[in-house]
Chain A
């Protein structure tokens, strides 16, 4: 698949926006557009072999079950897990973290220890831990940010001197774009016996995932940020840990024996997948993984890096514009503020040129407070973006300067 013509794989770009322009989509960090192959896989499933999975021995149930288990294997390979039993389907990263936090901290076993997150976490990788910490008497602390937008790993090491139950960290910040040294963070945590969780929502679509390399116990990502459908995500966990954890939810499909007096539960992954799965979502996720693997992460990364570097250089010349973070390693996104021009006014202005950017606090209020800004504008790239998108954006940005300032 040629990266230059990849936009044509995404039907949404064939139409004009209500403003009569081409769609210039610069919000992939929020959610990516879908290639035809993903859309087709879902249509095909509903039209040709739809049935519930796992419970029936008739066709088409056998076929849908086979496909779901095939996707599980594909996910296993995609993330470098040891076994497909380490792949639990959830509805997304937020869902994964809530379930995991709730299951790990289901008792007061960890009382008095701490949970370490960082100041750059998305609310999804902060609030669920915060709530469990409150419920079960743990202390939640955050690795501070350096002015560069990187994590202060010296401070992190100091935090680790206190008894630590778990470290939950994002691989790439959805606001700053910072790529964290997850391998190091997890190894340090492991050395003190802490459980590790990696939020790979932004990493997965940019560089793929390798749980072996990242050295984590648990990890999650969302299908919809990886060119796949909404409502599907993955929680990876080490097999023995997943089998020890109390089930995330209870109901059909996850039990071995049920009596009125009590029940026993299956092993992972079924243990944690109560009820009917998002089967179409799983099949769409499978098609999305096929898609990114066909394009190849080397290609995706170098393409998106090129756009990011180009945009960074152009933004550097613009007066009154301040880029958040000056880290060396940056994922495919840039957040910035402009003196006297509010992000929402800018994004409304850009929308009239068919340009989609994100304005707001990006679900990372502690980070925004740290930078003492109420909101910022974020541009993020996906495989379908090209230099023309960057040019149109810069042109419209200059127009906004003239209009507002």
Chain B
């Protein structure tokens, strides 16, 4: 199989796409976010519990390709337990990793292998919207989650 494909569909992505750890419904939650790409139909509902300005728990359900699924799993993994500031910088970091126009190499941004796997999206611009689907929606809804947090 060719190397380009291998780089996009690294074991990390294929494994995370099948990882069910964060798939499901929370009994109760403080926020629900729907990440939807109308062009391709990928759609996830993220259920989140925010308490004392900290993301206590997340789950998601919905359907989409392995890249959007893996990225949503990784989002849950990385942001669970984070406070507002950490969520904000986590999102910014991820967005930079998948951004083909970013000035830094992905390796300069993070050493985390699970995040680095998504850097392949830089080579597949048509798949960037899969990679950052849930992250982007979370970014949009950030103020809803953390109303008292100023981005400054």
Q: Tell me whether A399 is interfacial, beta carbon within 8 Å.
A: yes
Total interface residues on A, using CB and 8 Å?
A: 18
B2, B42, B67, B126: the one within 8 Å of A352 (CB): B2
| B: contact size bracket | 20 to 34
- Minimum C-beta distance from B110 to chain A (A): 24
Give the interface SS of chain A, mostly helix, strand, loop or mixed: helix
| Contact B4–A360 (Cβ < 8 Å) | no
Q: Which residues of chain B are near A348, meaning CB under 8 Å?
A: 5, 8, 124, 126-127
Cα of A349 to Cα of B1 in the assembled complex, Å: 10
Cα of A352 to Cα of B124 in the assembled complex, Å: 11
- Minimum C-beta distance from A20 to chain B (A): 9
- Minimum C-beta distance from A154 to chain B (A): 31
B1, B4, B8: the one within 8 Å of A399 (CB): B1
Q: Tell me whether A368 is interfacial, beta carbon within 8 Å.
A: yes
Q: Which residues of chain B are near A368, meaning CB under 8 Å?
A: 41
Cα of A403 to Cα of B126 in the assembled complex, Å: 20
- Minimum C-beta distance from A297 to chain B (A): 33
| Contact B127–A344 (Cβ < 8 Å) | yes
Taking CB as reference atom, which chain A residue is nearest B39? A360
Q: Tell me whether B142 is interfacial, beta carbon within 8 Å.
A: no
Once A399-B1, A403-B1 are accepted as A-B contacts, the answer to whether A345 and B41 lie under 8 Å apart by CB is: no
Cα of A344 to Cα of B43 in the assembled complex, Å: 13
| Contact B41–A361 (Cβ < 8 Å) | yes
Within 8 A of A (CB), among B31-52: 39-43
1/0 per residue B1-29: CB within 8 Å of A? 11011001100001000000000000000
- Minimum C-beta distance from B45 to chain A (A): 13
Q: Tell me whether B63 is interfacial, beta carbon within 8 Å.
A: yes
Q: Tell me whether A288 is interfacial, beta carbon within 8 Å.
A: no
Cα of A403 to Cα of B9 in the assembled complex, Å: 9
Taking CB as reference atom, which chain B residue is nearest A341? B66
Within 8 A of B (CB), among A353-405: 359-361, 365, 368, 374-375, 399, 403-404
